[in-house]
């Protein structure tokens, strides 16, 4: 059993198939969309060792001739040298314009292989098979692909709508707990942006992981369909991320992205309270939810002015403005780029001072 969501974008659409065990049907799902022939599987050694065989067998069964193209493990290899390595591998294998690249892995594999697919021969079809929670609910949906430069993350990239996304939640069984938690931060983000029912489930219990992933994907799909090229509404997906980028930079990138996003959502919600945009109870609720899922709600001892500088430096590199996404209610957020610096500094100072969740509400568990 599996379900399919269709994502529309200007000039086309693509399916997101989701269901336990779908990895072993990736070949037939791909063959529904493209004539079988040569295909590249891009993965890293860890994911390849776990799931490469299943995918390869499935592709062969559907008539494809897969070639395995491994990229090194880790964010430090999400760069142009790795992309060049993939180009070489594609050329050696003799990939043609119609040969699909199948990205099997987390966001690093999806972004890197996706960028190689977007550019080799001016674009090959791309199938995303995300294997982390973050990649399932965030990076594999929406068409953004790209790599890092030494000057900053994701500075080179493209919009590359995939041919299909295949989500098999069963592969999460092998995902390390810290990676799972990091993905949960983005799931919670999706709930706060647009899915009150998802937040309620995460506050209690009763729904499967499959359902939770489906709800989070639905939020991302709705936002990217409204703003496929990131010109407006898509900014809401950056809830917690302005602060998070500052925290990450200040920690020398030792803080994990999901942890930074958790702290960033706490800060953003408290900022919304300070600006009179939402009631204090909302901040307490968000902090309790994050803490319940093992995510941090108290930032390390960073000076507010340093966090501000780090956020400003990050924004400058991306050529954007320092804007904050502010929750007004669960399921409703607004984008503000006129937030006074003093309010931000005061919120950060307040966050440093607090040693227990906002309003000292006891955790659920
Ligand atoms: N394109 C986008 O729109 C977008 C959105 C959000 C994030 N991103 C990018 O995503 C990247 C982060 O992705 P991530 O969090 O998936 O990290 P990741 O790709 O580094 O994967 C995390 C770790 O989990 C391992 N792993 C993956 N799947 C596994 C499995 N099923 N079982 C066991 N181990 C597994 C990986 O080998 C890796 O060590 C960042 O580079 C970020 O910039 C992109
Ligand atoms: Zn993120």
Q: Of the ligands numbered here, which is closest to the C-alpha atom of 153? A: 1
Q: Which atom of ligand 1 is nearest to the CA of 46?
A: 37
Q: Assess whether the C-beta atom of 144 lies below 6 angstroms from ligand 1.
A: yes
Beta carbon of 274 within 6 Å of any ligand 1 atom: no
pLDDT value of position 359 = 39
Ligand 2 centroid vs 241 CA: distance in angstroms? 7
| C-alpha to C-alpha distance for 289 and 230, rounded to whole angstroms | 29
Residue located nearest, by CA, to atom 42 of ligand 1: 107
Tokens of 188: 């919670």
Minimal-distance CA residue to ligand 1 atom 19? 106
pLDDT in tens, 282-317: 999 999 999 999 999 999 999 999 999 999 988 877
pLDDT digits (tens), the chain, 365 positions: 899 999 999 999 999 999 999 999 999 999 999 999 999 999 999 999 999 999 999 999 999 999 999 999 999 999 999 999 999 999 999 999 999 999 999 999 999 999 999 999 999 999 999 999 999 999 999 999 999 999 888 999 999 999 999 999 999 999 999 999 999 999 999 999 999 999 999 999 889 999 999 999 999 999 999 999 999 999 999 999 999 999 999 999 899 999 999 999 999 999 999 999 999 999 999 999 999 999 999 999 999 999 999 999 888 777 777 899 999 999 999 999 899 999 999 999 999 888 644 433 333 33
Q: What pLDDT does 321 receive?
A: 74
CA of 244 to the centre of ligand 2 (A): 8
Measured by CA distance, the residue closest to atom 11 of ligand 1 is: 107
pLDDT for res 355:
61
What pLDDT is attached to residue 358?
43
Separation between Cα atoms, residue 175 and residue 318, nearest integer Å:
31
- Judge if the beta carbon of residue 108 lies within 6 A of ligand 1: yes
Q: How far is the CA of 358 from the centre of ligand 1 (A)?
A: 31
Pocket flag, ligand 1, residue 99 (CB < 6 Å): no
What is this structure's pTM? 0.95
- What is the structure's pLDDT at 314? 82
Compute, in angstroms, the gap from residue 295 CA to the centroid of ligand 2: 14
Residue 37 pLDDT: 98
**Which atom of ligand 1 is nearest the CA belonging to 132?**
28
The whole-number pLDDT of residue 317 equals 74
d(CA 6, CA 12) in angstroms, rounded, equals 10
In sequence order, which residues have a C-beta less than 8 Å from that of residue 278 and are 6 or more positions away? 269, 272, 326, 327, 328, 329
pLDDT at position 1 is: 81
Q: Is 131 in the pocket of ligand 1 (CB under 6 A)?
A: yes
HEC letters along 65-81: EEEEEECCCCHHHCCHH
Q: Separation of 245 CA from ligand 2 center, angstroms?
A: 9
Given a contact cutoff of 8 angstroms between Cβ atoms, the answer to whether 15 and 4 are in contact is yes
Q: How far is the CA of 64 from the centre of ligand 1 (A)?
A: 26
- 132 close to ligand 1 (CB < 6 Angstrom): yes
Q: What is the pLDDT of residue 7?
A: 98
Q: Which ligand has its closest atom nearest to the C-alpha of 168?
A: 1
How many CA atoms lie within 13 Å of 218's alpha carbon, on the beta-carbon side? 16
């Amino acid at each position: 059993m599996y379900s399919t969501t269709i994502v529309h974008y200007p000039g086309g659409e693509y399916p997101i198939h989701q269901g336990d065990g779908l990895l072993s049907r990736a070949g037939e799902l791909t063959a529904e969309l493209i004539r079988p022939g040569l295909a590249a599987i891009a993965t890293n050694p860890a994911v390849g060792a776990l799931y490469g065989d299943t995918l390869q067998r499935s592709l062969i069964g559907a008539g494809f001739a897969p070639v395995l193209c491994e990229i090194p493990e880790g964010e430090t290899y999400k760069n142009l040298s790795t992309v060049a390595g993939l180009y070489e591998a594609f050329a050696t294998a003799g990939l043609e314009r119609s040969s699909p690249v199948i990205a099997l892995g987390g966001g690093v594999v999806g972004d890197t292989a996706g960028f190689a697919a977007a550019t080799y021969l001016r674009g090959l079809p791309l199938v995303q098979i995300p294997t982390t929670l973050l990649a399932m609910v965030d990076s594999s949906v929406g068409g953004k692909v790209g790599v890092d430069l030494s000057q900053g993350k994701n500075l080179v990239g493209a919009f590359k709508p995939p041919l299909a996304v295949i989500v098999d939640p069963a592969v999460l069984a092998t995902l390390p707990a810290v990676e799972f938690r990091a993905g949960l931060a983005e799931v919670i983000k999706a709930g706060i942006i647009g899915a009150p029912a998802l937040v309620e489930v995460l506050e209690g219990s009763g729904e499967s992981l499959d359902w939770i992933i489906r709800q989070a994907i639905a939020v991302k799909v709705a936002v990217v369909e409204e703003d496929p090229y990131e010109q407006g509404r898509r900014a809401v997906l950056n809830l917690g991320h302005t602060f998070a980028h500052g925290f990450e930079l200040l920690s020398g990138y030792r803080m994990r992205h999901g942890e930074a996003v958790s702290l960033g959502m706490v800060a953003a919600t408290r900022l919304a309270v300070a600006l009179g945009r939402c009631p204090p109870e909302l901040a307490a609720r968000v902090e309790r939810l994050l803490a319940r899922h093992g995510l941090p709600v108290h930032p390390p001892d960073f000076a507010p002015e340093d966090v501000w500088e780090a956020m400003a430096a990050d924004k400058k590199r991306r050529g954007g403005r320092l804007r904050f996404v502010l929750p007004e209610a669960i399921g409703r957020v607004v984008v503000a780029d006129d937030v006074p610096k003093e309010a931000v500094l005061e919120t950060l100072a307040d966050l440093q001072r607090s040693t227990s969740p906002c309003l000292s509400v006891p955790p659920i568990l």
